[in-house]
Every structure is written in structure tokens, then in C-alpha cells.
């Protein structure tokens, strides 16, 4: 288990650095800590949610088995993201810089990373859990439903935890050490008050923003 935790932490730190460097060295260095915290916090909450959902659908998992499964899932997510780190770093460094209300390439870069995290998460949940679920649930419909529920729980929890402990990217480019580590519930630059509205604004910018 310790080896898995170390692998998870190192991989998450590598990816965190690659997205932070799109703003500044300050963000990159902070993300060496913040992104592993994001992954570990999400994993801890999901361990409880996975267990509740498994019990609800009559899956024969005890809590320890679910914890080990969750650790494997989030370790795989971190490794997949770490493999994308060189490409993400290159895109972050070369993207068009934000300028006032024109955010340049920042929305596309951020949306690309949101999709990458979501895809890696869903892929890891499916590949890691499909065999174990098939041996624990008799009804095929319940097997598929449990996998979908676990995916949805991971995305929902991860998105909101990410919102609470942002910024990971940032649009200012100032990179000052005085920038708060965590923005919490404070609205972002475009006025979004939660993760889901922020993602919507990436696709459909509010009036006056590009």
C-alpha cells in the first residue's frame, strides 16, 4: 500500500507541475503539493461513497476491499495523467497568454485538461473494477449501474474538491507568492460560483468575455 501511495503522489505531483507551469513557477511549485492533495482528498471521499453505493446494489465488498480498489483506481488515474505531463507542459507554455477579458488559449487549455482528467478517471474506474464487480454482483444490470455510479461519484467529488482548493492554473500570470493557496467558495474571474458553472463558461463564455 505504501508503494501505491508513493506512486500516486509522485505521478500526481508531476501532472500538477505541468499544469501549473502554464501560469508561473509559483503555481508549478505549489501544484507539486496541491494536486496530490486533490487526488488523495477525492480518493478518501470516494472510498466512503463507493462502499455505500456497493452496499446499495448488493455488491459483496467489505470496506477494506473498497479502500484497496479506490487506491488502485486513483493510482492509475495519476499514472495516466503523469504520462500526459510532457504534452500538457508544452501546451501550457506555448498557449496564447490571457490579456484582460481576452483569455487567449487559457479556456481551451483548461477544458482540455478537464476532459483529460475525466477520461482518465472513467477509464481507470472501468478497467480496475469490472472484473471485481463481475465476481461480486450476479445481475449484469447492477454491475453496469455500479460502475456508472462510481464514475459519476468520482467526477462529482473530484470537480468540487478541485474548485475548493483552486487555483491550479490561473489567468493572471503574475505568479506572486502572496496569491492565496486556496480560493474556496470565492467566485472566479468570470463570476462562476462552482466547478460546473466554471466548465459551462469555458464552453459558453459569459457576455464581455472571450
- Residue 89: predicted pLDDT: 92
> Are the beta carbons of 165 and 195 closer than 8 angstroms?
no
Q: What is residue 136's predicted lDDT score, i.e. its pLDDT?
A: 73
* N-to-C CA span, the chain: 46
Peptide bond before residue 187 is cis, with ω within 30 degrees of 0: no
pLDDT at position 126 = 92
Domain boundaries, the chain: 2-203
Per-residue model confidence (pLDDT) at position 173: 53
Torsion, Cα 66 72 77 83, to 10 degrees, reads: 180
Written as nine digits, the cell of 52 is 455505500
**HEC states along the chain?**
CHHHHHHHHHHHHHHHHHHHCCCCHHHHHHHHHHHHHHHHHHHHHHHHHHHHHHHHCCCCCCHHHHHHHHHHHHHHHHHHHHHHHHHHHHHHHHCCCCECCECCCHHHHHHHHHHHHHHHHHHHHHHHHHHHHHCCCCCHHHHHHHHHHHHHHHHHHHHHHHHHCCCCCCCCCCCCCCCCCCCCCCCCCCCCCCHHHHHHHHHCCCCCCC
pLDDT along the chain (210 residues), means of 10: 89 95 88 95 95 86 89 95 95 81 80 94 91 74 86 93 86 63 79 83 74
Does this model's pTM top 0.85? My answer is yes
**pLDDT attached to residue 199:** 83
Contact 15, 35 (CB under 8 A): yes
pLDDT at 46: 95
Amino acid at each position: 500500500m505504501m508503494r501505491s501511495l508513493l506512486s500516486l503522489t509522485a505521478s500526481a505531483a508531476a501532472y500538477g507541475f505541468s499544469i501549473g507551469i502554464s501560469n508561473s513557477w509559483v503555481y508549478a511549485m505549489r501544484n507539486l503539493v496541491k494536486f496530490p492533495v486533490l487526488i488523495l482528498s477525492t480518493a478518501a471521499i470516494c472510498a466512503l461513497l463507493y462502499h455505500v453505493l456497493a452496499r446499495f446494489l448488493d455488491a459483496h465488498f467489505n470496506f477494506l476491499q473498497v479502500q484497496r480498489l479506490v487506491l488502485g483506481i486513483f493510482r492509475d488515474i495519476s499514472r495516466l495523467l503523469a504520462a500526459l505531463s510532457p504534452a500538457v507542459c508544452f501546451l501550457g507554455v506555448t498557449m496564447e497568454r490571457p490579456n484582460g477579458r481576452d483569455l487567449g488559449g487559457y479556456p481551451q487549455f483548461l477544458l482540455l485538461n478537464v476532459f483529460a482528467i475525466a477520461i482518465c478517471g472513467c477509464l481507470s474506474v472501468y478497467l480496475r473494477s469490472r472484473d471485481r464487480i463481475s465476481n461480486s454482483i450476479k445481475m449484469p444490470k447492477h454491475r453496469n449501474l455500479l460502475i456508472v455510479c462510481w464514475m459519476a461519484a468520482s467526477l462529482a467529488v473530484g470537480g468540487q474538491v478541485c474548485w475548493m482548493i483552486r487555483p491550479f492554473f490561473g489567468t493572471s500570470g503574475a505568479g506572486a507568492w502572496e496569491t492565496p493557496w486556496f480560493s474556496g467558495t470565492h467566485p472566479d474571474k468570470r463570476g462562476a460560483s462552482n466547478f460546473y458553472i466554471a466548465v459551462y463558461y469555458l464552453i459558453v463564455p459569459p457576455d464581455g468575455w472571450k
